[in-house]
């Protein structure tokens, strides 16, 4: 059946269009939205979020997608708007269960392929690469991809034509009229959709509380240029590994000023490699240097781009700050620029890293003290109003943000002339049913959060995770007492296990584990021993490796660091 005939056939057998929100409405991250018509499902994005500190042993969180697993055969495609972790981080878990086509831009799919490879998944036969203005038939849906500007290359909004009407999903966006890569925000196409008639607009609410316009990414390059040019010591720029536009500007500034750039961090190296291969990053000849070579260069000639802008304890910047990095050392006269926004909840971790950097004699510039060194990738209030006025939707649904951001975006819609009854505030699990000229709220669907630890295992709830570890692999508690003044271990580390090893095996294994904990602390610097967050992470990582190697099992490990 031809696509036009198929659409006509479906239209004649009327079904409501259902839009279900599995994540991204009530928090930052976990973005995942379902479009369903006649039982066939289109998935838009599958993202993750990072956990709060109290979730011991949890590395990241993904949406609970059991609802989708139960309907796996009905899923016709997974469309990915761009390559940020909060939009693609859960793709391996989703794809493994659904095996549906993965649709996205070249850069987005390049990042996804690397993720799938880590999970030993081969999706090459299911990859569908698209670019702006392409149109793709996916089940009963016709999806057109629209160029938007954001803080990562090849970001695309979606125009989803359904038998019920046209839905615009903006994904993450801002309106940058001088983008670094020259890929302009597609004003004309959004205006044409508005003329055609938009049933519903789903729009990014991240910056709905910020007045005015979001500055252009070029402004960041302009702010960084004199800092990098005039520096008399090394400059470390901490940013997100996906921020290819910022990395491009740093490379260009270095080339213009006869300086060299060193990239430090596994994800940074991986992302830049993908971006260069696909033509989204141009590396000037002779600008890049390896960390070993960088260590021998004159400080004033070197710029380091590093990961760890959110204070992650095992990141490149954290290890540099603690003087634990094998090849990069920092000292008096060096500058560290945090060229990234602080993700809510990461304030304490960033503060710890800053403290360590200051102790080493470095000068530190943060986004809140030097705002020009970072620009958000999300639209502020005036840009959100422009989107509303371009598309002129019949119904409006704020997405992507905590409830306060969704609520403020709803107020902006009212200020833009959309009647209050046509503005629909939703939360995770909500389902909207669109008919001809009307909308109703359907029954909520089960949703929640799934916790993933370093083994990439799925953990549905923290309590369930604890019980499973206790019943299968047990639990190990490592207690170490450290003298706050000297950093010395005051007593022999105590290792207590429950449900982990047989009694006759326990004494010898746990004694070796205690020796390992003492060695871990002993090989750490005095500064690391004084930071319980860092020493906690090091003990946990070393014990995980030790027990996995010795027993093949993965007990839950809870270090307890007591300072006296």
**Looking at the annotation, which residues are catalytic?**
204, 378
CB 91 within 8 A of CB 102: yes
CB 485 within 8 A of CB 520: no
SS3 state of residue 534: helix
Burial code (b: 16+ CB inside 10 Å, e: under 16) for 65-95 equals: bbbbeeeeeebbbbbbbbbbbbbbbbbbbbb
Phi, psi angle pair for 63, to nearest 5°: -65, 150
How far CA 190 is from CA of 133, 206, 386, 418, in Å, comes to: 11, 20, 10, 17
Nearest-angstrom CA–CA distance, 340 and 317: 13
CB 500 within 8 A of CB 553: yes
Query: If you search the block for the tokens 């010591």, which residue do you land on?
Result: 233
Nearest-angstrom CA–CA distance, 178 and 345: 32
Nearest-angstrom CA–CA distance, 88 and 107: 12
- Secondary structure, 3-state, 377-410: CCCCHHHHHHHHHHHCCCEEEEECECHHHHHHHH
First to last CA, the chain: 76
How far CA 305 is from CA of 261, 262, 328, in Å, comes to: 7, 6, 11
Phi, psi angle pair for 397, to nearest 5°: -125, 110
Query: If you search the block for the tokens 């279900």, which residue do you land on?
Result: 20
CB 447 within 8 A of CB 65: no
Q: Where are the beta strands (DSSP E) in 401-492?
A: 431-434, 439-441, 449-453, 458-459, 475-482
Q: Which residues pair with 336 in a beta bridge?
A: 236, 364
SS3 state of residue 87: helix
Single out the residue of 413, 405, 398 nearest to residue 207, CA to CA: 405
SS3 state of residue 309: coil
How many Cα atoms sit within 13 Å of 268 on the Cβ side?
22
Other Cβ atoms within 10 Å of 222 Cβ, number: 13
Radius of gyration of the chain (CA): 25
Q: Which residues pair with 36 in a beta bridge?
A: 18, 41
Pseudo-torsion of CA 44, 168, 246, 107, nearest 10°?
40
CB 216 within 8 A of CB 374: no
């Amino acid at each position: 059946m031809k696509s036009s005939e198929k659409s006509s056939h479906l239209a004649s057998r009327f079904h409501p269009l259902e839009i279900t929100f599995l994540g991204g409405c009530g928090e930052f991250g976990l973005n995942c939205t379902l479009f369903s018509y006649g039982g066939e499902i289109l998935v838009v994005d599958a993202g993750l979020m990072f956990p709060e500190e109290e979730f011991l042993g949890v590395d990241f969180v993904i949406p609970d997608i059991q609802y989708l697993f139960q309907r796996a055969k009905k899923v016709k495609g997974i469309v990915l708007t761009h390559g940020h972790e909060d939009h693609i981080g859960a793709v391996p878990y989703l794809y493994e269960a659904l095996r549906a086509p993965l649709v996205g831009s070249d850069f987005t799919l390049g990042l996804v392929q690397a993720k799938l490879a880590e999970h030993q998944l081969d999706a090459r036969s299911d990859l569908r690469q698209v670019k702006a203005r392409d149109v793709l038939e996916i089940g009963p849906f016709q999806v057109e991809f629209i160029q938007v500007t954001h803080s990562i290359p090849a970001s695309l909004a979606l125009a989803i034509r359904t038998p019920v009407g046209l839905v615009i999903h903006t994904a993450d966006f801002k309106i940058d009229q001088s983008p670094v890569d020259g890929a302009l925000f597609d004003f004309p196409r959004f205006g044409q959709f508005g003329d055609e008639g938009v049933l519903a607009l789903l729009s990014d609410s991240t910056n709905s509380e910020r007045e005015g316009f979001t500055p252009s990414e070029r402004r960041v390059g302009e702010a960084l240029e004199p800092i990098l040019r005039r520096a008399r010591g090394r400059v470390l720029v901490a940013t997100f590994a996906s921020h290819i536009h910022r990395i491009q500007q740093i490379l260009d500034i270095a080339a213009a000023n006869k300086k060299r750039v060193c990239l430090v961090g596994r994800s940074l190296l991986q992302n830049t490699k993908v971006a260069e291969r696909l033509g989204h990053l141009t590396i000037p000849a002779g600008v890049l240097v390896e960390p070993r070579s960088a260590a021998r260069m004159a400080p004033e000639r070197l710029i380091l781009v590093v990961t760890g802008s959110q204070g992650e304890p095992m990141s490149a910047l954290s290890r540099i700050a603690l003087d634990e990095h094998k090849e990069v050392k920092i000292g008096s006269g060096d500058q560290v620029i945090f060229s990234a926004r602080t993700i809510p909840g990461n304030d304490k971790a960033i503060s710890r890293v800053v403290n360590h950097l200051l102790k080493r004699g470095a000068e530190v510039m943060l986004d809140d003290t030097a705002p020009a060194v970072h620009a958000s990738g999300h639209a502020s209030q005036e840009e959100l109003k422009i989107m509303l006025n371009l598309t002129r939707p019949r119904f409006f649904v704020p997405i992507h943000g905590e409830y306060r951001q969704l609520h403020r975006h709803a107020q902006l819609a009212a200020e833009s002339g959309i009647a209050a009854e046509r503005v629909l505030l939703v939360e995770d699990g909500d389902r909207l049913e669109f008919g001809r000229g009307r909308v109703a709220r359907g029954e909520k669907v089960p949703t929640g959060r799934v916790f993933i630890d370093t083994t990439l295992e799925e953990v549905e709830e923290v309590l369930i995770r604890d019980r499973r570890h206790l019943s299968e692999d047990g639990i190990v508690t490592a207690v170490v007492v450290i003298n706050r003044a000297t950093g010395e271990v005051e007593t022999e580390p105590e290792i207590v296990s429950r449900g982990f090893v047989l009694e006759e095996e326990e004494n010898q294994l746990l004694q070796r584990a205690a020796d390992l904990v003492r060695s871990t602390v002993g090989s750490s610097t005095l500064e690391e021993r004084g930071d319980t967050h860092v020493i906690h992470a090091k003990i946990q990582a070393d014990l995980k490796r030790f027990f996995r190697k010795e027993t093949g099992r993965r007990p839950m490990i809870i270090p307890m660091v007591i300072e006296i």
